[in-house]
Amino acid sequence: MDVHVHRAISEGLRRRGVEVLTCQEAGIGTFEDVDILIYANTNNRTVFSQDADFLQIYDSGQITHQGIVYSHKQNSIGRIIQGLILIHEVLEPIDMENHVEFI
């Protein structure tokens, strides 16, 4: 989970059995977005964010990554949780490599 993701999203996913790691928990809360993706790639994690900067990094092709899931800030917490659960249930890690999913 990117730095500014509402805590209720992480908590809602955890209550539903989804493993979640926030940037704060990983000790990378002050990292730049590119460095967050590098950390996630190194640790085989997909990044969820509501920060469009991640989409710009993806478009630039700067780095390889284990996936980005993006949601507009207007989406409700419930809708985001439902979307993340669906992605978690349907897609395999290999499906997310260098890929972006939108909620």
pLDDT tier, 2 (very low <50, low <70, confident <90, very high otherwise): very high
Does any domain span residue 2? no
Does any domain span residue 87? yes
pLDDT digits (tens, 9 = 90+) for 27-69: 999 999 999 999 999 999 999 999 999 999 999 988 999 999 9
Q: Which pTM does this prediction carry?
A: 0.94
Does any domain span residue 1? no
* Residue-range definition of the domain harbouring residue 66: 7-102
CA dist 20 and 9 (Å) reads 10
Q: Where are the beta strands (DSSP E) in the chain?
A: 47-49, 68-70, 100-102
Domains in the chain, number: 1
Q: What is the pLDDT of residue 62?
A: 82
Nearest to 96 by CA among 42, 35, 22, 46: 46
Dihedrals phi, psi of 100, to nearest 5 degrees: -120, 135
